[in-house]
Amino acid sequence: MASVQESIDVAVPVSTAYNQWTQFESFPRFMDGVDSITQSSETMTHWVTSIGGVKREFDAEITEQHPDQRIAWKSTDGESHAGVVTFHRLDESTTRLMVQIDWRPESFVEKVGSVVNADAIQVKGDLKRFKSFIEKSGGETGAWRGEVDAPPTGETGDAVPANDAVPDTSTNDPDSGGPRAN
């Protein structure tokens, strides 16, 4: 499994950053390689991506969502990936977004990209474009503030990993349930 962890501080209140992140269909406006996202229900999305010359389509399910705190997802077909974005209030007008994405590179190009950290560069660039997008827009383009409870836990009390991913508990923040803000 490949994994990327990145963060960025944006000069908007936590609710503004969170609300915009729930507008999945707007992702192509700031995510390179994302051609389209269609949200078919409160928890299901269909993605079309073109990254490194490889076009993919897959469905993803939102597995956990708590307003102003976190959004987690996992693929349900196609791509093998899972991730979480957590939102940390630094002050009334600044929010830290922390992103963790885990996936299984399949093609040779994807495996090489993972080794040379092209995936981390991609995520970092997407976060910078999100920062520019949300700070220049003057507010979110919409919001969905519904709750999605986490999946059932395993016998150990830890969340059941998506797609056999092993969660990195070294970054858990007991106060927010997400990665620690450094």
Of 101, 94, 74, 67, nearest in space to 177 by CA: 67
Is residue 112 within 8 Å of 15, Cβ to Cβ?
A: no
155: pLDDT strictly greater than 60? no
* pLDDT category of residue 79 using cuts at 50, 70 and 90: low
* pLDDT category of residue 110 using cuts at 50, 70 and 90: low
Is residue 110 within 8 Å of 54, Cβ to Cβ?
A: yes
Strand partners, 69: none
**Region 117-145: what's the mean pLDDT?**
88
Write down the domain spans for the chain.
2-145+157-163
What's the CATH fold of domain 2-145+157-163?
Answer: Alpha-D-Glucose-1,6-Bisphosphate; Chain A, domain 4 (3.30.530)
State pLDDT tens for residues 21-55: 999 999 999 999 899 999 999 999 999 988 777 78
Tokens 């791509």 sit on residue: 79
Of 60, 55, 31, 54, nearest in space to 123 by CA: 31
94 exposure class (CB count in 10 Å sphere: 0-12, 13-18, 19+) = middle
* pLDDT category of residue 96 using cuts at 50, 70 and 90: very high
User: Using CA atoms, how far apart are residues 181 and 173, in angstroms rounded to an integer?
Assistant: 8
Mean pLDDT of the chain: 81
CA distances, 20 to each of 29, 79, 108, 164 (Å) = 12, 24, 34, 29
Of 105, 102, 99, nearest in space to 124 by CA: 99
Is residue 60 within 8 Å of 45, Cβ to Cβ?
A: yes
pLDDT at res. 107: 63
Least confident of 11-15, 64-68, 69-73, 146-150: 146-150
